[in-house]
Amino acid sequence: MQQVLTRDFLRNADCKTAFGTIEESLLLTPEQRLASLECALARRPDNSPVWIFGYGSLMWNPVFESEEVRPATLQGWHRAFCLRLTAGRGTQLQPGRMLALQEGGQTTGLAFRLPEDKLREELELLWKREMLTGCYLPTWCELTLENGQVVTALAFVMDPQHPLFEQDTNHQVIAPLIACASGPLGSNAQYLFALDNELKNHGMQDERIGELVNTVREWLQQNATGSRGESASA
């Protein structure tokens, strides 16, 4: 049965089992997650409102509470499926690829302004979701909202030194991985298609995502046709 990611699920989740089997050496302890959050808060540039940059599933299922949501652009980073996915929507035996931010280019997404009086509570929930293995580097950056306003935001960018980092993001390499992988939170392909739909819903364009969607759909169709052909000739 597919598990839906909700506030209650995250609050109650046992990180060792709720998302699938995660190699223990990669899993952050609650104390390590808290230390990571404390470190990020210590680097908070100023006392302006804290915004979170959502560029993947945070766009359609943020889970945390926010007081304002605005389309935004992040300069200097682009979306890339460069994170080997062994839990959630993949497994160690059938790994997929998860989204992260890599240096270069720009990314359009959604900016969420967190309530200051609940800041710690919402960030702890976010850290439990995003920092299971510490694969991201929580980075303070400047976001440009659609009206031109510049705000201070946290973005989760890929740590290129992390064991789950994958350098090769060629679509012909990652499309079969995304097409085949699934886990307790659903399939890897569902994630990609949901991202594509969300971008379209907001009138945002990401050519890399659009091309990858087409490649994954082609791969799924070809393999479905091949399976039918094998059945018919058996």
Could you identify the residue written with the tokens 């399939």? 187
Catalytic residue list contains 130: yes
Query: Distance (Å, rounded) from C-alpha 198 to C-alpha 139?
Result: 24
125 within 8 A of 50, measured Cβ to Cβ: no
Q: How many residues would you count in the chain?
A: 234
- Rounded to 10°, the helix 171-180/188-201 angle is 110
> What distance in Å separates the CA atoms of residue 177 and residue 190, rounded to the nearest whole number?
13
The rounded distance, in Å, linking the Cα atoms of 45 and 39 is 12
Active-site residue, selected from the candidate residues 130, 166, 198, 207: 130
CA distances (Å), 195 to each of 65, 76, 109, 166, 190, in order? 20, 20, 10, 20, 9
Catalytic positions are 130
